[in-house]
């Protein structure tokens, strides 16, 4: 082989090696570039929130009340159910979804809930009625009942208000009232229910805040009977109890006020001065026209006071019950008769009841009747189409045309809220 040939072969081999090295270098760069791009892509994906896979939109349910099974936790969406009677229309805008605990009558998107008691001629609760059995009117216009709720599924918050003034208490008599009230609380309250205890003489005092039946019942027995002559601030006591329920009982709960009193008032802030003036006019040798004027002024203040208290009870969304332990003695004088009529007026306006047991032994039977009524209440739920301004009172009327012999008790109306 000649020297020239060998030289050409060396050049060819060198060139081939250079080409091979270049190809290897390019291949390595390509591989590294791909890995880098992959890593960049992964980092970008990690920083970008994943987009959900579109799913077909669920069909929206028709507007109507939905009853949550339990009270929803904060910031949680309650699951629809039919076991609890405080409905929320579905769907609703977000700004309407929250429930205002200060509602007079529970209203959400014009939803109104009306507790109704239906009794037969013997005073026994009538059960088993359906929505079609009721007729409900607002301001004379028939309303469609959206749903008939079960009151047993709604927690009950009740205030028992004892009159401890000298007008109705003696030691043995008052102790009997206490024992009957204890039996009532233990009979009517379920674990989800609560009771508060108030007592009033010259002023109203909270003895026990809302608590379970056993706690409240124990506190009832600690209330002392009056030992000296005291004034009676009936109006102040009822107003204080209603205000307490409005501030402390959730809007989803039923609110009941039960007062044990003769209803006579001579020491409330709104009537005290007039009562004293009338008493002095009667005791002193004053001209007849002065005594008459004092009496008329006092009567006018009492009428205004009972109107104001009734509005406060209605405004607190409270059903009012009264038990007058005076029995047939209420017929002996005008003041006692007027006082009983005033308690009945508040009871009628709020869908409650007013009792005058003839004998002390009948007190337990009265408590049992109230307990049965509270268990058997119907909750009529409807959507009001009224555009009345806030603060206006709208009249409600409820009847059961299919049972004409029954007695129907329901609130006479509600105050429109903002």
Report DSSP letters for 62-121, one per residue.
PS-EEEESSPPPTT-PPPEEBSSS--EESS--HHHHSPPTT-SS--STTEEEEEEEEE-T
| pLDDT of the residue at 275 | 66
Residues of the chain scoring pLDDT < 70? 1-109, 167-169, 272-285, 290-292, 294, 418
Report DSSP state, residue 3.
H
| pLDDT of the residue at 8 | 52
Residue 413 gets the label, from left (phi > 0), alpha (psi -120 to 50) or beta, of left
b/e code 161-182 from CB counts within 10 Å (16+ = b): bbbbbbbbbeeeebebbbebbb
Residue 377 CA to its chain's centroid (Å) = 14
| pLDDT of the residue at 288 | 72
Q: Which residues contact 17 (CB under 8 A, 6 or more apart)?
A: none
Cα separation, 313 vs 241, whole angstroms: 9
| pLDDT of the residue at 49 | 41
Beta-strand relationship, 156-163 and 254-260: parallel
Segment holding 395, helix H or strand E:
strand 393-399
Cα separation, 127 vs 377, whole angstroms: 9
Quick check: helix, strand or coil at residue 410? strand
Quick check: helix, strand or coil at residue 353? strand
Q: Which residue's structure tokens are 């069909």?
A: 59
Q: pTM score, two decimals?
A: 0.71
Q: Which residues contact 171 (CB under 8 A, 6 or more apart)?
A: 225
b/e code 274-306 from CB counts within 10 Å (16+ = b): bbebbeebeeeeeeeeebeebeeebeebbeebb
| pLDDT of the residue at 360 | 83
| pLDDT of the residue at 208 | 98
Residue 68 CA to its chain's centroid (Å) = 15
The answer to whether 400 and 132 are in contact (CB under 8 A) is no
Helical pair 272-283 and 288-315, crossing angle rounded to 10 deg: 160
Cα separation, 88 vs 383, whole angstroms: 11
Cα separation, 349 vs 314, whole angstroms: 8
Strands, E assignment, 133-277:
135-138, 141-143, 145-150, 156-163, 194-200, 204-211, 254-260
| pLDDT of the residue at 295 | 72
pLDDT one-digit tens code per residue, 164-218: 987 666 778 899 999 999 999 999 999 999 999 999 999 999 999 999 999 999 9
Segment holding 273, helix H or strand E:
helix 272-283
| pLDDT of the residue at 399 | 98
273-280 LR contacts (CB < 8 Å, sep 24+): 274/298, 274/301
CATH H-level, domain 152-415: superfamily? von Willebrand factor, type A domain (3.40.50.410)
């Amino acid at each position: 082989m000649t020297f020239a040939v060998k030289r050409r072969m060396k050049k060819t081999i060198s060139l081939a090696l250079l080409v091979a090295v270049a190809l290897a270098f390019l291949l390595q760069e390509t591989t590294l570039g791909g890995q880098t791009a992959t890593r960049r892509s992964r980092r970008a994906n990690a920083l970008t929130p994943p987009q959900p896979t579109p799913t077909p939109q669920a069909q929206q349910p028709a507007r109507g009340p939905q009853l949550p099974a339990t009270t929803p936790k904060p910031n949680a969406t309650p699951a629809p159910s039919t076991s609890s009677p405080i409905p929320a229309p579905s769907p609703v805008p977000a700004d309407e979804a929250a429930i205002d605990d200060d509602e007079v009558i529970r209203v959400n998107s014009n939803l109104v809930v009306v507790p109704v008691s239906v009794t037969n001629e013997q005073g026994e609760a009538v059960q088993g009625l359906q929505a079609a059995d009721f007729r409900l009117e607002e301001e004379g216009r028939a309303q469609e009942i959206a749903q008939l709720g079960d009151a047993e599924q709604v927690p009950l918050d009740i205030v028992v208000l004892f009159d401890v003034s000298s007008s109705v208490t003696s030691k043995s008599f008052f102790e009997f009232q206490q024992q009957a009230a204890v039996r009532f609380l233990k009979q009517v309250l379920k674990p989800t229910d609560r009771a508060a205890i108030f007592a009033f003489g010259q002023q109203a005092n909270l003895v026990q805040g809302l608590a379970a039946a056993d706690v409240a019942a124990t506190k009832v027995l600690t209330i002392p009977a009056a030992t000296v002559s005291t004034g009676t601030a009936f109006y102040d006591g009822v107003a204080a109890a209603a205000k307490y329920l409005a501030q402390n009982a959730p809007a989803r709960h039923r609110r009941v006020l039960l007062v044990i009193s003769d209803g006579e008032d001579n020491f409330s802030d709104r009537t005290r001065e007039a009562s004293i003036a009338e008493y002095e006019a009667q005791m002193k040798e004053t001209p007849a026209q002065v005594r008459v004027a004092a009496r008329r002024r006092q009567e006018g203040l009492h009428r205004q006071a009972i109107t104001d208290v009734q509005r406060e009870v209605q405004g607190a969304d409270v059903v009012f019950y009264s038990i007058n332990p005076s029995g047939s003695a209420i017929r002996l004088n005008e003041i006692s008769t007027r006082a009983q009529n005033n308690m009945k007026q508040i009871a009628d306006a709020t869908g409650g009841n007013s009792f005058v047991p003839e004998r002390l032994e009948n007190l337990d039977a009265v408590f049992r009747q109230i307990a049965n009524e509270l268990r058997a209440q119907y909750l009529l739920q409807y959507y009001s189409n009224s555009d009345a301004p806030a603060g206006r009172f709208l009249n409600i009327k409820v009847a059961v045309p299919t049972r004409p012999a029954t007695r129907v008790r329901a609130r006479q109306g509600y105050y429109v809220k903002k």
